[in-house]
Every structure is written in structure tokens, then in C-alpha cells.
Structure 1
Amino acid sequence: MASVERKTEKLKAFYCGYGQKRQTSAEIVTEARHSLRTLRTQRPFTPREEQRQLFGGSARGRSECLQHLLHQKPRLPLSPGEACSGDGKGVPKPPAERTVTRGLGGARSRLARSRSLPVVASETQHTKTDDIKDVEPNLIPPPQQWNAESFNRQSMHEEKSPERSSQKLTHIPNKHRTARPSSADVCVSSDATRGRVDTTESDESIFWTSEVLPVLQMFESVPSGETVSKETVEHLCNACTVLHDILSEKGMLGKRFKKRTQVLRALFRLIDLRSDQLNLTLTKVILALRVSGNNLLNICKLVFKISRNSRNDFLFQDNSLLGSLVSLIRSEDLGSTGEAALYLTGALKLLSGNNSLARLLLAKDFISVSLQLLQRPIQTPDLETFPNNHSTSAERDRHAITGHVLVQVTAALRNLADLSESRPSFLSSGVFPTLCAVMDCYRDDQDVCLNIARIFSKLSSYTECCYALAETVSCYRLFLDLLCKHGVKQALVVRLMFTLGNLAAKSNNARLRVYEEEHSIYILLELFQRYLRVPGFQHEEEDEDVLRKLIRVLANLSIHPAVGTALAANPLCVQLLLKVMEVRSVEESAEVVLNASATISNLSYYQSENSVVRAQHTHVSELLLRILSSSNMEAVLEATRAFGNLSQMEEVQGFMITNKAHRFIVALLDSKNPDVCLSACGVLTNLSTDPENRRAINQEGAVPKLIDCLRDFGPRDWILAAQACQTLWNCTEDGQVECVDELLEILTLYSDQKALQWPYSEHLKAHQEACWELEFLPVAERLKKRMSRYAEVSEAD
């Protein structure tokens, strides 16, 4: 199956050893098709979780310790009867009765139910902006009983600007106002108030009375704890948007507004209406007012609760809240409570399972923001980040919470990796080195490692991402260490193997790097032994998938000459591959057997003196013959390729003729698959170098079948046409030729470049012409001369 010797006109069999130097790119292509090749396989499948949860079915979800950790704060949903102070201790409930003055048109007294929303000090206790900025809402007494009909015909009672206020509140449009700019897409940070209008206390008082207070009065007129109509919810949502916009115009979002506590108090009490649509609108405004501590925790819990129901996904799609949630990940407030980060990232993880929302997250730069969050624990390697035996309980808990957050973030990135449009972001954001660093820091955390392994397995299926990961030098040692550490974790092992297989399929440098890592081959073969079960053992599908991916790694690594030579000389490696072919049948384990056969085929290419494959050629040939007689054409093709290399050995040629293997090979020439025909031609080229073998091949009708291959595939595949001509040259060495005229006609036509049709693509045309000129034409011209001579002799007779 070697190339044509172009510098000699001596008539001889077309066979030369593999030690010859390749001269052209076309010859290299030929060589690759004949012998070494990479293997593909399906990416491991991860089914969608039926129920949206923080940790799904992982060990975390079943951990009693974690359940206690997650439920020691208020349960979801945010209940008016539950609250915590900033230090995490329970807040004393207020008196059962309380007199409160509401509105500007007159005082109204009512009984208040005890409530437990986050606590703040009384407004009268704070007069300075700096004092007010850290204050959170107090317990809010419920308003008087109210119904939807009275809401629709309500009128606002104000001491100032009654007409303006009434018009604004009773005629709020169904759609958000567009006259004012909105900053709903981002949480207000310390510099978000740039350009705000400076106001005196008098101006602020007028603004409060004329713009804000009417909206709050309308909020308070709604009875809490009752089901309200859809129209009322829409009206309240529009009012929230109006409130957000007018505060934004005056630069009073964040913690600057002196009466921020009253606004938050009014907003928080509406949560008790238990409308998911309204709660998300409230969340947008509350986050813009920069709540912190337990209030932030409760809001994140609320968002998480809403996100657990997939029927609420459309609320996030139509709401600008996603931008606020993504921006919140950057804020320092989130870092002050790990649980808030856990619920927030958990919500984003659940939402990212919806492809439409995943695209919105991608547009909000979620990958870059997540990268910043992932970098926090690996940039501060202290006791709190990496607890040990001397760490305190609090330090270990913080490390655990960080791990829980990383699970959510990496799971969300895993979902975004499914989007083809996400790949540029993964490539440009330095995600691969960061993910490897996180994987390294949390190598004991199987959930974190599994999520990142899923990301790699998805992205490495694409060429650009695969090359980028291949250039991440730290990944090779890391993957091997994780395979060694978590060898019994099938889900993790199979994805790491799949990723390594992709790297080895694309990059010759990656093949060498894997091989050069200390104990790399030992680790791979150790796992090979672990997952290779004995006959009679019921194979679990997960174990079988590991075996498929693992053998594929060996096959792809063996493309590199140094690695392939070493693996061919490794007794354990060859023994395990042959064991697969012994104990597995093509019918029960098609891909496993096929991959093992392909690996043996690749290893048989190397002719080193230490090659175990060639030393055990008889046993190898027996196993290949069994596969050759199966009905699986892919397995047959792999066995034929292996015989193409081994049939250079006289002992193997004798084995094939004795066991009638040549009959199977000749029959393969009828295949409509050009790769099958090419491999069959290669085997027959080697066998036909011996006169006895040549007679046996010709008796099976090889020459007419070879002519059919040449006619059918020639113009589309000049490499196959060249190989068919080489085989025909050997088979016609003795002068007894069938169909001389037909063969001569085909050769004459195919030797005329002007008579041939070429592809329209310049690139394909250049490649085809190179193969035709360098591979096919020299062999065809020599064969044509011989056929012309045979034709002359035949006419003379």
C-alpha cells in the first residue's frame, strides 16, 4: 500500500516498505487513508433534570448537613411571618396591635397583623444620608380591606397637586412608560448616580409629595395576603416601573434617597400578594435600591423560588430583570452572604436550561461575569478558601458554600455551552484556563469537576475550542490526576476521556503532551483494566461508555509516531485490546470492538522490533478474521485496515490464504463504500506480490471487480483509482488478463486531463489535480503500456 516508485521503469510488483520517505501531500493523504486514522464517538448524553433543583440528584441534594444549611434561614417563598436581622438572629415580632397614620388627606387607624419582613429603624431616627443608606424596611402594618372594584375607581387624596397625582396613578398605561430613560438592566452601583440632579431638601420634599408618595399610597391601598385580579397585577407592575423610572431620573436609586426605607417598606409588603409576575417587577426595583444582608438573601430566595417553575420562564424573558441579576453577581453586597449568591446563581442556572433565556444571558455577558465570580476563590488561596485540619468551622462552612455556588455557576455555563453562538465568548474570555484552575482547586468536589468536564466535553467537539483547550497546558496533568482520583465516578471519567479523545484527534502536539505526562499511560491502562469486565458479567451502559471513550483515546494517541511505537511495544496495552476482541462480540458491543480493532490497526502500522502486535501476529490475525466475517461493515472495514498493515508479513499472507480470508477481501471490492474498496485493494496489493497468492486471488475474480472499482470511483477518488491500478498491475503480472480492451479504454480516458470533469471549487480542483497527477497518472501510464502490449499480442494470435 505504499506509493509508486517514480524514478524506475523496472516492471515489478507495486509493493514497498513503510520505511520509505513520503514525498507529496497527496501521498500523505493516501498513507493516512490506508493506515492510521482518528476515531470519532458520540458525546456523553446528559438528560435534563425533570425537577428544577439546586443540586438535582447529586450527593449535595441528599446531604442532611446541606439541607440544614439551606433551611436555617427563611424558607421559600419569602413569607411575611419570617425574618432575620442582619446578624442572622431572629427578630422579635411587633405588638399585635399598632396604630399607624397613612396618607395625606387624613389619618386612618387600623389593626396590624404581626409581620416579619426585614427590620429597619424608624425613619425619624435618621436625618443624614449616610445614616439612611444602610437602613432596611421595617415591619409594615397591613392596609385596610380593599377589593379590585374599589381599586379601579379609587382617587388619590393629596394635600398637594391632586390633579397631577390622580392623573398619573389612575391612568398608568399597560405598557411601561418610554418617555423616561430606564436603568432597569443594571443594579445601581456607587457610580450609577453620576449626572443626577442636585436637589435641595425642599426640592426633594416636593418630589416626594408629588411623584413618589402617590404611588406608595396606591400600593398601600391594596390588601395584602389576598388573591388579586390579573388587571390589578398589571396595574401594580406598571406602577412599579413608573416608580423605578422617576427615582432613576432624580438619581435616587441606590442608597442615596433619604426616604428609601418607606419606599422599600411599601414594595416589600406587596410580595405578600404572591404574584410571580409582580414579585419579579418588585425585585427589579428593590435591587435597584441596593438592599443588602438578609433582605438581599430573601430577594434571591424569592427569585429562585419563581425560577423553579418552568412555566414562569416567559416572565424572565419579557422582563429586564435578567440584566439586574447578572450585574448583581459583580456586586460586593452579594459577596457578603454566600447564601444569597447560592440562590441567585441557582436561579440563573435553572433559567439557563431554557434556550431562549440562555441566549438572553449570553447577551448580558453572563460568561464574562461568571468568569469573574469563578476567579474569586482561586485568587485568594487562604485558609478560608482552602480549609485544612486547622481551619475553623466557619472557614470550612464558607469553603463549602463557595463550592455550592461554583456548582451553580458551572452548571449554567454548561447550559450555555450548548449554544453555537456562545463559542466566541468562551474563546475570547480566557474561560478554559480559569475553569482548569477552579477544577484544580476543587478537585475533591465531584459536582464542580463534573460540571466543568461537561463544559469541556461539549466545547472540545468543535475545532476552534478544541485547539484552544489543547493550548491550555495545565489541562493534561489535571485531567490525568482527576482520572486517577475519581476513577470510579463513571460520569466524570467518561467526559474527561471524551475530551482527551477530542484533543488527541485534532492536535498532534496534544498527543505528545498526554504521553509525556508522568504515568499517563499507566493511568489509562489502569482504568482500562478496571472497566473491562469478564465474560458473563452484565455490562452497565456507563461502564461500556467509559470503555468506548478510553480505547478511542489510545487509538488517537497512537497517531503520533513516538506514542504509537511505544503503545505497540507495551504488552499490557496490546493484551487489553486483544482481550476486548476476545470477550466482546460485534453484536453486543459494536463500538467497543470497533475501537479496539482500529487501535490494533493503528499500532500494526509501526514496524519496530519491539512491536507486540507484530510479534503476536497469528493471534491478532485470528481475531481479525472473526471480525472480518461479521455483518457489521464498520467492523469489517477496521479488520481490513489492520490486515492491510499486517499482510506485509509473509506469515500473515500465508495465514490469510490458508484460512480463505482472501475471499472476503475480494468480495469487498463490490462494496459501494470507497473506503472499503480502498482497504481491500491495499490488502490485495500486498497478497498479490507472491505468485501463488496471486493465482488464488485471480481465481476469485479479482480483476473484473478491480476494473469495476476503477470505472466507478476513478473520477471522484484518484487515490482509490491509483490503488486499484497498483493491484491490477500485480494481478496481471503473469500475462493472463481478462477484459483487456475494457481496461485499456478506461485508462486511456482517465489519462487525458482535458477529457475529465473537475470540481468548480478551485481548492478542490487543485487537490484533485494533484492526486491525479502524482498518484494516479504514473501508475495508470505504466499499466496502460502493459495492456497495450497484451492487446497487440492478443490481436497477433
Structure 2
Amino acid sequence: MDPKKSKDRPFYELPENVQASSRIIQDARTSLRTVVTKRPFTPRDEKRTLFPASTARNPESRPASAFSLNSRHFDGNDSRPVSGTKLSPLDHLPEGSDVRARAEIKTPRAPTAAEIETAILAPKPPADPNRPLSRKGSRQKLYNATSVDGGGETTSSVRPRSGSTDGRLLHESGSPDREVPRRVNSGPKERTLLPEERGMADGKEAAPRVSSSMGVSSPPRTGGSHDGEQRVGSGSSRKSSSAGKTRSGSAGKRDSIDIGDDNFYTDKVAPLIDEMSALGKNKDNEKLGELAEDLYIVLDTNKKLTKSYKQRSSILKAIFKLLDVEEPRVMLKLARLILAFKVGGNNLLNVCKLVFKVSRNEKNDQEFLEGNVLDLLIETIRSSDHVASCEALIYCVGAVKFLTGNPTILKRLAKKECIETLAGLMHNIEKTNRDNGRVNDQFGHILVQLCAALRNLADVGSGRERFLQTGVIESLSHLLDAYPNDCDLVLYISRIFSKVTLHTDCCTVLANQHSCYKSFIHLLNRHVNKEDVVVRVCFVLGNITAKNDDARKRLFQETNAMSTLLSVLKTFHNMESQKRSNPENVTTNGRHTNSDGDGAINTIDDVLIKVVRVIANLSINDSVGPVIASHVECVQLLLAILDSKDIGSSEELILNTVATINNLSYYTTKTSAITAHQNTVAQVLLKLVMTDNMEAMLEASRVFGNLTRQRTVRDLLSKQKVDEIMITLLDSGNRELVFIACGVLINFMADEDKRPLLKKEGGIKKLTEVLRDFGREDWQLGSVVCKVLCNYSTKITSTNSCFGEAEAQDLVDVLVEYLDRETALEASLREEVDEDFKDYLCETWEADFCPVASQLLKRIETYQSSFEPLEAPG
């Protein structure tokens, strides 16, 4: 290169094949960068409650978190019709009885057991003495007719002994007009005419019959038991069809099964129930818990824990009577039996409340690790109808939510596919809402518990993979769109997203949900004063825009996206100003937001950090960045934050804000607000360069590397001795800081009046030492050092006068050594060095270092002479 043609040209105006100084900051370490921040702090719930303490739910419309619960709340008669419609009474009653007389008076009172007993214990002799006195299966019906259910209690006036002949003929009608007493709570089946009645209706003489109330011996029952034909749990009216089968002649097979069940009940179950009932009265909780465990094992081993077991109703009613105990361990064991029988309706609701009540106390967590209570809870969630059993599911899922707060139980629930079960329930609720064309607010109560549980389950090792496999992230995104007004639900979903979006795969899934951007912007607008929601939504937006350029464009293109972000930024900056003016009275959401030395979290600062991070990440996109850089209000807000904050108390906020300004300062468009206010920006950043905070100095220097492309900025900073500070930073030992300082000095050396300072402050020697110390490991840094010296020596006439004799010789020695490939790459060519790193070093040496170093060496050698030029006469 001809020195006469190149000596007057600044280094940044060199040909395109040599990197110009205006592009230095675009290099790897000075290019646009995403901003990193920690996840928002989530305080641990002090108490286990159904809804968070800050809930905005109306107390009158939400389920109660505290309630009283005892045996009276359980329904012993669980065989009513599903519709709940009261059946009309039959118009025939036993003649000659007090019941008939009372019916004629039309009193609404139900007949007592004694009255029914009177009616049925005075039968006429049979018309045919040779007719059998009993029919198979009738004795149980007799017992049904002698039972009255009132509030879950059954009073029996007849207790036949097993095998007793006296109990085989308790009621029999010999005349065709004699009516059979109807069983209490009977269903439509029992209104069907008997054969002899049908005969009378046809005008034929009916054969003598035996009352259907006659029965064979049944197993002994406890005082609180109910007939074995009724089915407890579904809330429906479903009777045993044994009578019908007897009439059709198919009772033989059923009898053999019934006899086996009766023997099992008599021998195995009834003694345990009787003993449990006695212990319940004596309040012997320890022994009662043991017997409840024994009863469960007996029933489970013999596969009797089913809805079809004949004595299910009797067992459940006996258990219900024991639920006045206060011992959590016993309560849970009894609840385990009830859940295993798959009850429904009111009983399902109350047993879920019972489990919820036990799970509210952390001290009871150990009890849930025994037996299979966790399995039963998960199965209840999986099998229950979310429409019919909505309230029961609220408490059941709420109990699971509490239990996921225990690390040991949390891992066990994850292994039992709790995530998959909750995901299935969430999908079903989504489908129901979609099919109905509207959302059900009651489902929102379930979803709050569900999402709170998923928030904890996201922390388990396999949680993220399970979320991805079951489509949890997509469903949560849809729920945000469906329930934007439910603050509790929005909070828990944002907490889940703030956890899972720390991982790239989850970010990708969420970013591909195109509706999520609109939902997030809507949430920020609607909940702008709720920092616990805003801080997490902004954190999630920062995560999905950190590595996904398509997400940056989608978010920015969303209607009112930028104005919403700036509105949030302005709102919380104003809150901060109010806090400074009156720090004792300012609270948000009932929490003081000061940042003291006691470790308190400044939530306002946390929100500002997250919003600023989103803006920084958006500005990386080459089409979005220039638009944001031209937004005057955005730049003014960023500068206001820097001007009002101190690096000592708000370090992360200051660093993120400066990084955002650095990204925006990269775009030098005519409409850039940074360029229009460049002197103001420089003035604000000066205080950071003067601090002892190395990170703050580094970030401010990055911005100066962009701003000093303008002569006016260089003049301003030179007056503030920033160029001198940059020379001093060459001794810092921090490679990145040295790199940025060199980038700023490149621009300063473009001005001839600022070049002498470099030599005066020992900058030539410092740059040579930097090259010697870091060049072999960092050829990019070596290239920047050479660029500073090239710009400095643009008008060189003598090497010695320009650099100094000793400094020039040292510089030549280093350049000659480093331009020799074998010598320069000796360390990188060793076998133990990683192959990728070796290729990187070779590439940067050849592409970045050699062109500039060769030019500098040639210039030094060209003007190296023992003769000193004479200065022009004055």
C-alpha cells in the first residue's frame, strides 16, 4: 500500500475487505445481545388454602376453604333417582293398620317402623295350606320393608336370625284383594302387578300367592347397615333385580353367588364392622384405624371394593357413622374405604372435602404416603365426571395441590402419572367449554387447583417432558385466552410458563401458539396494576423472544404490543417515583415493595427489569430494531430509568437498560431517537463509567463504542476524559472490557487532536502488552489492538516519533512473531486442544488478525529511520 495514498484516510474508511471501525461493535462480543435475567421470585404459601390470599373471587360464589364436616353430612340412603324427583306414594296400604288410618287423615308424616311392624305381623292364613310359605329371595325384601332411612340412620323392627323358621312366614295374604306393603324408598319395579293381581285385572281368578316380603335368612347386619340390594355412590335409584329373576326362574345361579357373598360378609366383614362401631363409640382411635386398615385389606383381597358388591351399602353406612372422629389418620383410612367403593353424588363431594381437610395440615402429609390413598385420589380425578362432580373435583384436586408442596409426595405423584391425569381433566374441560360455546366459571375453580398443582409438578425431573407429551403447554395457552378475567388462574398459568420457558423446547412450543401473543398483550393491559402477573408474563415474553427471531416479529406485529409494553414500563416507573416520594405508604397488592438490606424484593424493579428485557430482545430483529430505535417515548423512558436509579441498589435494572440502549444505538437510521438524543445518552452513561462496577463500565463502554462514531459525541466525551479512562482500562486484565475499550479508542483515534493522548498516557506500550498477553488466545482482540494503532498512525512521518523508539521495536517484534503461522498457532496446533477451537483460532488469525497486522507492520517498517525529520519553521 502506498503510504502517501493512505496516510490521510481514517481507518474506518478503509476498503470493504478490511473491517471498518463503525462495524467493530457488530463483532461477536459487541453485537446485539439478548438480556438475561433471573426468574421472578415466588414466595412460598404460608398457609394451605383453596385459593390464594390475594384472590379477587367473590366469597359468596366460590367454594369454601374451611367448613365443618361430620357423619351427618354423608347420605346413607344413596339410592335416590338421579333426577332427585320425589316419587308419588302408592295408593294401597295394608288394611286394618294404623298406617291406613294415618293415610286417610292425609298426614305427611312417614309411617314409623313400629306402625309398619303392626301392619305386617297380622296376616291372614294362606288360602292354600299346601302352598309353600316362602319364596327364595323374599326374606331380604321383608327386611327392606322394615327399614326406614332417616338422615342416614336405619331403624329395624325385625332382626331375623340366620336359619330361623319363625322368620320365614312374617306376612302372607290369602285373599286376592290383600295388598302387599311397599318397601320404603321403593322404585318403579315394585309397582308392577304380581301374577295374581294381573289375573284379577283380566277378570280371572288368581291363584293364592305368598307376599313378596317373605324372605330367606340374610347375613347379620350392624345397627347402621342398610339393605344389601341398594347401591350407594351414584346417587341413582337402582334396585337389585333378584325378585325379577326369581319370577323368571333364573334365581338359582344368583342364589349360589349370594350365598357365597353372604358367608363372606358374615364371617369376614360383619365382625370387623361391629367391632369398629363399638370402638367408634368408645373413641379408641388407634384401634379403630387398625381395624379400618384390616377391613380394607379383607375387601380388597377378595375383590369386594366394587360398586356391584351386594353389601356395599351396609358397609358404607357403617363407615359413615364413624366419621365424627377427629384423628386425621383414622379419618384418612375411612376416607380411603369410601373412595375405593367409588361413591358418587353428595358422598363423593363430602369424602373429597374430608381428604381436603386432612391435607390442609402439613403435619398429616406422612399419612398420605401410607397405603394407596394417592392412587385413589388420582383415580377419582380420572374417573369423575367434571360436570356432575364439579365441586367434588375442586376439593379433590385441591388436596392434590396441597400434597404437591411436599417434595417426597411430589415425586411419587409424578410417577403415578398425576401430570397425565390432570392434563386429561384439563382437556375434558376445554372440550366441554368448546362444545357449549362458552366457558363455565365453575370449571375455573377446578382449573385454579389444577394449575397450582402443575406449577409444582413442573419441578420434577420428568415434568417438562411430560408437559410436552401431554400437550399441557398448548392447553394452558388456550386457558389464558378463555379465562382472562380469572386473576388466580392467570397467575398460576404464568407461574408455570415462567418455569418451563427456561427451556428452549418449551419456548418453541409456546411460541408456535400464535394466539398466545394476543393473550399476553391482553393480560398486560387488563392486569397492569398486578405486578405478580405482569412480572411473570413479561418474563415469559422475554424467554420466548430470547432465541426465536420469528417470535420477536410475531410479538411486535401484535396489535398495540409496543404501546402496551411502554404503558407497563411507564406505569411502574411512576410507581417507583411515588415510592421515592412517600416510601412508607406505598404498597402494591398489599405488599411493601421497598428494597432494604433485609432481603426484601423490590417488585417494581423486578417488573421494570422484565419489561426492559422484552424490548431489548425485540430490538435484535433487523426489521423491528430500527422501528423501536425511532420510538422517542421508549428512549426517553429508558433514559429516565437510568437517570433515577443507582447502580448500587438497582444493578440488574441499570445493566439491562444500558444493554437495551446499546442494541438500539446500533441502528443509525435518520429517524433514530438515540442519534437525535446522543449527547443526552452519553451524559447519562458517564456516571456509569466513573463507578467501580466493572459490569456497568463494560455496558456503558459498549454504548460509547456505537455513539463515538459521531464527532460531536467524541468531543463531548473527550472533555469528560472518557478517552483517558479507556486507555486506563487497558490495564484492567478483563479481556472483554479491554476489547470494548479498544473499540472506543478506534473511534477516538479518528480525530487528529485526540491522538497525542494515547502516547502521553502510555497507551502504545499498554496496547503492545495486551497484544502479547492475549493475542495467541484471542485473535479478534489482537485485530482490534492493531486497528487502534493503525488509526493512531494515519499521519505518521517517523516511526520513532510516532510510537517511540522502544515501543516501536517491541511492537515490531510481536507483530513479526504473530504473523508467522507456525509460531503464532503453536499453542492451538497442539493435539490436546479441541478440534473446533483449533479451527476457530486458525480462522480468526487468518481472517481478522493477519490483514490488519500486516498493514500496521508495513507502515512501521516504511517509516522506520534513524533520521529525525525537521519541524517546519514557525
- Tell me, yes or no, whether TM beats 0.5: yes
Report the CA distance between 1:417 and its aligned residue.
1.8
Deviation sequence 1:526-583 (CA, Å, 0-9, x none): 2222111238434842222211111111111111111110011111111111222222
Question: What residue is the counterpart of 1:450 in the other structure?
Answer: 491
Question: Aligned partners of 2:153, 2:518: CA distance in 1, in Å?
Answer: 63
Correspondence list, 1:366-381, <5 A: 366-381=418-433
More displaced stretch, 370-379 vs 208-217 = 208-217
Letter of the 1:771 counterpart: T
CA contact (8 A) 2:726 2:744 kept: yes
Correspondence list, 1:282-431, <5 A: 282-333=334-385, 335-381=387-433, 386=438, 399-431=440-472
The structure-2 alpha-carbon separation of the partners of 1:309 and 1:740, relative to structure 1 and needing over 3 Å to count, comes to same
Letter of the 2:658 counterpart: S
Question: What residue is the counterpart of 1:511 in the other structure?
Answer: 552
Correspondence list, 1:42-53, <5 A: 42-53=38-49
Question: Aligned partners of 2:664, 2:644: CA distance in 1, in Å?
Answer: 20
Among residues 542, 545, 565, which one is paired with 2:626 in the alignment?
A: 565
Among residues 63, 73, 76, which one is paired with 1:82 in the alignment?
A: 73
- Residue 800 (structure 2) pairs with residue 739 (structure 1): no
Question: Aligned partners of 2:665, 2:436: CA distance in 1, in Å?
Answer: 54
The structure-2 alpha-carbon separation of the partners of 1:22 and 1:554, relative to structure 1 and needing over 3 Å to count, comes to farther
Report the CA distance between 1:731 and its aligned residue.
3.5
Deviation sequence 1:143-197 (CA, Å, 0-9, x none): 9xxxxxxxxxxxxxxxxxxxxxxxxxxxxxxxxxxxxxxxxxxxxxxxxxxxxxx
Structure 1 unaligned segments of length 5 or more: list them.
107-120, 129-138, 144-197, 388-398
Letter of the 2:827 counterpart: L
Report the CA distance between 1:83 and its aligned residue.
3.6
Structure 2 unaligned segments of length 5 or more: list them.
87-148, 165-182, 191-220, 226-251, 587-592, 594-601, 869-874
Report the CA distance between 1:720 and its aligned residue.
2.4
Report the CA distance between 1:640 and its aligned residue.
0.5
Correspondence list, 1:534-683, <5 A: 534=577, 536-537=580-581, 538=583, 540=593, 541-683=602-744
Question: What residue is the counterpart of 2:51 in the other structure?
Answer: 55
Question: What residue is the counterpart of 1:765 in the other structure?
Answer: 838
- Residue 125 (structure 2) pairs with residue 64 (structure 1): no
Question: What residue is the counterpart of 1:114 in the other structure?
Answer: none
Letter of the 2:836 counterpart: H
The structure-2 alpha-carbon separation of the partners of 1:558 and 1:765, relative to structure 1 and needing over 3 Å to count, comes to same
The structure-2 alpha-carbon separation of the partners of 1:49 and 1:608, relative to structure 1 and needing over 3 Å to count, comes to same
Question: What residue is the counterpart of 1:209 in the other structure?
Answer: 263
CA contact (8 A) 1:80 1:272 kept: yes
Question: What residue is the counterpart of 2:115 in the other structure?
Answer: none
CA contact (8 A) 1:442 1:448 kept: yes
Question: What residue is the counterpart of 2:300 in the other structure?
Answer: 244
Letter of the 2:558 counterpart: E
More displaced stretch, 453-462 vs 590-599 = 590-599
Among residues 512, 518, 528, which one is paired with 1:471 in the alignment?
A: 512
The structure-2 alpha-carbon separation of the partners of 1:422 and 1:790, relative to structure 1 and needing over 3 Å to count, comes to farther
Question: What residue is the counterpart of 1:254 in the other structure?
Answer: 306
CA contact (8 A) 1:374 1:438 kept: no
Letter of the 1:57 counterpart: A
> Who wins on radius of gyration, i.e. which is larger?
2
The structure-2 alpha-carbon separation of the partners of 1:351 and 1:717, relative to structure 1 and needing over 3 Å to count, comes to farther
Secondary structure class of the residue paired with 1:643: helix
The structure-2 alpha-carbon separation of the partners of 1:22 and 1:82, relative to structure 1 and needing over 3 Å to count, comes to farther
- Residue 739 (structure 2) pairs with residue 687 (structure 1): no
Question: What residue is the counterpart of 2:275 in the other structure?
Answer: 221
Question: Aligned partners of 1:21, 1:358: CA distance in 2, in Å?
Answer: 60
Question: What residue is the counterpart of 1:531 in the other structure?
Answer: 572
The structure-2 alpha-carbon separation of the partners of 1:140 and 1:788, relative to structure 1 and needing over 3 Å to count, comes to farther
Correspondence list, 1:94-133, <5 A: none
CA contact (8 A) 2:224 2:314 kept: no
Question: Aligned partners of 2:620, 2:727: CA distance in 1, in Å?
Answer: 28
Deviation sequence 1:671-721 (CA, Å, 0-9, x none): 233221211111111111222222123322222222333333334433223
More displaced stretch, 309-318 vs 677-686 = 309-318
Deviation sequence 1:422-467 (CA, Å, 0-9, x none): 1111222222221111111110111111111111111112222122
Question: What residue is the counterpart of 1:115 in the other structure?
Answer: none
CA RMSD of aligned residues (A): 3.8
More displaced stretch, 628-637 vs 42-51 = 628-637
Report the CA distance between 1:382 and its aligned residue.
7.2
CA contact (8 A) 2:265 2:311 kept: no
Q: When the two structures are superposed, what TM-score results if normalisation uses the length of structure 2?
A: 0.72
Report the CA distance between 1:35 and its aligned residue.
3.5
Among residues 36, 40, 46, which one is paired with 1:40 in the alignment?
A: 36
CA contact (8 A) 1:558 1:565 kept: yes
Letter of the 1:201 counterpart: D
Report the CA distance between 1:279 and its aligned residue.
3.7
Question: Aligned partners of 1:687, 1:700: CA distance in 2, in Å?
Answer: 14
Deviation sequence 1:189-236 (CA, Å, 0-9, x none): xxxxxxxxx985314422442477413412321311544364663454
Question: Aligned partners of 2:524, 2:845: CA distance in 1, in Å?
Answer: 47
Question: Aligned partners of 2:262, 2:818: CA distance in 1, in Å?
Answer: 91
More displaced stretch, 231-240 vs 10-19 = 10-19
CA contact (8 A) 2:393 2:446 kept: yes
Percent same amino acid at aligned positions? 34
Question: Aligned partners of 1:569, 1:21: CA distance in 2, in Å?
Answer: 31
- Residue 554 (structure 2) pairs with residue 493 (structure 1): no
Secondary structure class of the residue paired with 1:81: helix
Question: Aligned partners of 1:789, 1:609: CA distance in 2, in Å?
Answer: 41
Deviation sequence 1:266-295 (CA, Å, 0-9, x none): 444454444433443443443232210011
More displaced stretch, 785-794 vs 529-538 = 785-794
Secondary structure class of the residue paired with 1:48: coil
The structure-2 alpha-carbon separation of the partners of 1:484 and 1:94, relative to structure 1 and needing over 3 Å to count, comes to closer
Question: What residue is the counterpart of 2:177 in the other structure?
Answer: none
- Residue 850 (structure 2) pairs with residue 777 (structure 1): yes
Letter of the 1:627 counterpart: L
Question: Aligned partners of 1:717, 1:122: CA distance in 2, in Å?
Answer: 93
CA contact (8 A) 1:35 1:645 kept: no
Question: Aligned partners of 1:231, 1:374: CA distance in 2, in Å?
Answer: 41
Letter of the 2:335 counterpart: T
Letter of the 1:350 counterpart: F
CA contact (8 A) 2:328 2:358 kept: yes
Question: Aligned partners of 2:14, 2:416: CA distance in 1, in Å?
Answer: 56
CA contact (8 A) 1:240 1:282 kept: no
The structure-2 alpha-carbon separation of the partners of 1:20 and 1:782, relative to structure 1 and needing over 3 Å to count, comes to closer
Letter of the 2:528 counterpart: G
Deviation sequence 1:70-96 (CA, Å, 0-9, x none): 38xx934x4123345778999944789
Question: Aligned partners of 1:207, 1:320: CA distance in 2, in Å?
Answer: 25
Question: Aligned partners of 1:19, 1:386: CA distance in 2, in Å?
Answer: 65
Letter of the 1:486 counterpart: H
Secondary structure class of the residue paired with 2:669: coil
CA contact (8 A) 1:653 1:687 kept: yes
Question: What residue is the counterpart of 1:169 in the other structure?
Answer: none
Report the CA distance between 1:56 and its aligned residue.
2.8
Report the CA distance between 1:412 and its aligned residue.
0.8
Question: Aligned partners of 1:742, 1:227: CA distance in 2, in Å?
Answer: 96
The structure-2 alpha-carbon separation of the partners of 1:20 and 1:450, relative to structure 1 and needing over 3 Å to count, comes to farther
More displaced stretch, 449-458 vs 399-408 = 399-408
Question: Aligned partners of 1:294, 1:422: CA distance in 2, in Å?
Answer: 34
